[in-house]
Structure 1
Amino acid sequence: MIKKITFGLIAFICLGSLATQAQKKVTEGYISYAAEYDLPPDQQMAAAMLPKEYKIYYKENLSKFVMDLGMMTNQMTSDSKTNTGLMLMDIPMAKQKIAVKFTEADYEKQKEMMPDYEFAKTTESKVISGYNTIKYNAKDKQTGNQIEIWTTKDLEIPSNSFTQAFKDKIEGTPLVFVTNMNGMKVKLSFKELKAETVTGLNLTIPEGYTQMTMEELMSMSGR
């Protein structure tokens, strides 16, 4: 279940004002989202393990997605130009620090595993957090699972770990994603967009981490 959320199905709830903003371009900084989950009764115990916040740092072609799961922290740094990446997992209770490098071939393999969505632009519009947005619907051709996406042309940020999956599928910057997968509803609410100097964005494995392949990592979890 957590894996499904991690692969980019975002939900966004808007609590913004009704005033519109001029076009804003933020080339370096971070954007954060507050997460809400509506889970089936048999999965309520998992709610406490799911992240309450998602944060994405970005600068030029590099972005870092940070997810705190309480008992572990997951960071994924991606290079949109070379289609390479580095995932770092820190599990204090198990005294484990794991690093997984992703090559361009790994990304191609992941793309093959991703759902095949059909996108449709609607005529629905509204103002979210001061930005004019328009709604897109996306439907998984195999399962029928749907995503509701609200995007804006008033805000421009570089392609990052979240938005890369929708590149060339939609116009503008995604602000709202509402997902419903097998009875699990996910919403990510915009918290903050901040322009600031971002340091430490690279694909170098830090000291103290054990490097594994994705296959080795999956075998540890019994997959």
Structure 2
Amino acid sequence: MLTSIKTGVLAAILVSTAIFAQAQKKITEGTVTMGISYALTPEQEPMAAMLPTETKVKFNGNMSRFELQQGPATITVISDNIALNSLVLIDVPVAQMQIAVKGTKEDYEKEKANDPKFSDFKATGEKQTILTYSAEKYTYKDDKGATYELWATNDIELPAGLMGQEFKDVKGTPIKFTRFNRGVKSTATIKAFTEEKAGPFTLDVPKGYELKTMEEVMQMQGGGQ
């Protein structure tokens, strides 16, 4: 019954990080929809069916929230994108199970420790329209020798850290980019921004949820047949 939890939580983690914005129209709360594709190694292929190809992230200032359905489990991730604290809620109604996992900045840094580190962001002057936004192409590289490209716009500004910390040196809002999380390479494309009421969100554990560590949750795979 619980065999999907480990991969489901990993999938949630993979889409719970993101972008830094400096732009013209400031959007402080709403929903961002991302399309996601993956470049998986042979060892990572077993998780392919569990990884989302689209996700909607609701945000209010530095706080964000999204849900992911994995088998019988609904996984909700709430994050403080500045302090890098988080709360993962796992709800499995068929097992009458509600689990909460708190994450800290130290946990985030540990998760990212082995991922490539990006630098040398350079605007190329090449332009195109993505969604309705004027975007410019940037190139960048990592500390392992690989090179990448992203597209960023100055038409809008989103809350700092909404999608992670990798692109804080880009002078704009990345709307198409490649990144890594726990060794998984993905390319995200922003499909829609909606300025609307969202939140407020909190990192307080809701009543009825059992607080566990991430290690305890990962060990549950196969333990609830």
TM > 0.5 fold call: yes
Aligned pairs for 1:1-223 within 5 A: 5-6=14-15, 8=17, 23-37=24-38, 46-92=47-93, 95-123=96-124, 124-142=126-144, 144=145, 146-162=147-163, 164-178=164-178, 186-221=186-221
Pairwise CA distance, 1:201: 0.8
- Residue 94 to residue 197, structure 1, CA distance change in 2 (3 Å): same
Pairwise CA distance, 1:57: 1.1
Pairwise CA distance, 1:158: 0.6
Cα distance in 2 for partners of 1:51, 1:90 equals 18
TM-score under structure 2 length normalisation: 0.72
Q: Indicate conservation of the 8 Å contact 1:57/1:65, yes or no.
A: yes
- Residue 185 to residue 100, structure 1, CA distance change in 2 (3 Å): closer
Cα distance in 2 for partners of 1:57, 1:8 equals 13
Pairwise CA distance, 1:122: 3.4
Cα distance in 1 for partners of 2:97, 2:40 equals 29
Pairwise CA distance, 1:101: 0.8
Pairwise CA distance, 1:43: 6.8
Task: Give the % identical residues.
Answer: 37
Pairwise CA distance, 1:146: 5.0
Q: Indicate conservation of the 8 Å contact 2:18/2:166, yes or no.
A: no
Pairwise CA distance, 1:127: 1.4
Match of 1:16 in 2: none
Unaligned residue ranges in structure 2 (runs of 5+): 1-6
Cα distance in 1 for partners of 2:214, 2:49 equals 26
Q: Indicate conservation of the 8 Å contact 2:98/2:209, yes or no.
A: yes
Pairwise CA distance, 1:128: 0.8
Q: Matched residue pairs, number?
A: 207
- Residue 79 to residue 192, structure 1, CA distance change in 2 (3 Å): same
- Residue 199 to residue 180, structure 1, CA distance change in 2 (3 Å): closer
Pairwise CA distance, 1:203: 0.6
Q: What is the letter of the counterpart of residue 51 of structure 1?
A: P
TM-score under structure 1 length normalisation: 0.72
The two structures, once aligned, show a CA RMSD in angstroms of: 3.5
Q: Indicate conservation of the 8 Å contact 1:33/1:188, yes or no.
A: yes
Cα distance in 2 for partners of 1:27, 1:93 equals 37
Q: Indicate conservation of the 8 Å contact 1:122/1:137, yes or no.
A: yes
Q: Indicate conservation of the 8 Å contact 2:127/2:134, yes or no.
A: yes
Cα distance in 1 for partners of 2:110, 2:41 equals 31
Pairwise CA distance, 1:136: 2.5
Cα distance in 2 for partners of 1:138, 1:62 equals 28
C-alpha distance after superposition, 1:77-99 (max 9, x if no partner)? 12234332211223456554321
Cα distance in 1 for partners of 2:27, 2:108 equals 26
Pairwise CA distance, 1:23: 4.3
Pairwise CA distance, 1:75: 2.3
Q: Indicate conservation of the 8 Å contact 2:101/2:211, yes or no.
A: yes
Q: Indicate conservation of the 8 Å contact 1:34/1:190, yes or no.
A: yes
Pairwise CA distance, 1:161: 4.2
Cα distance in 1 for partners of 2:99, 2:138 equals 37
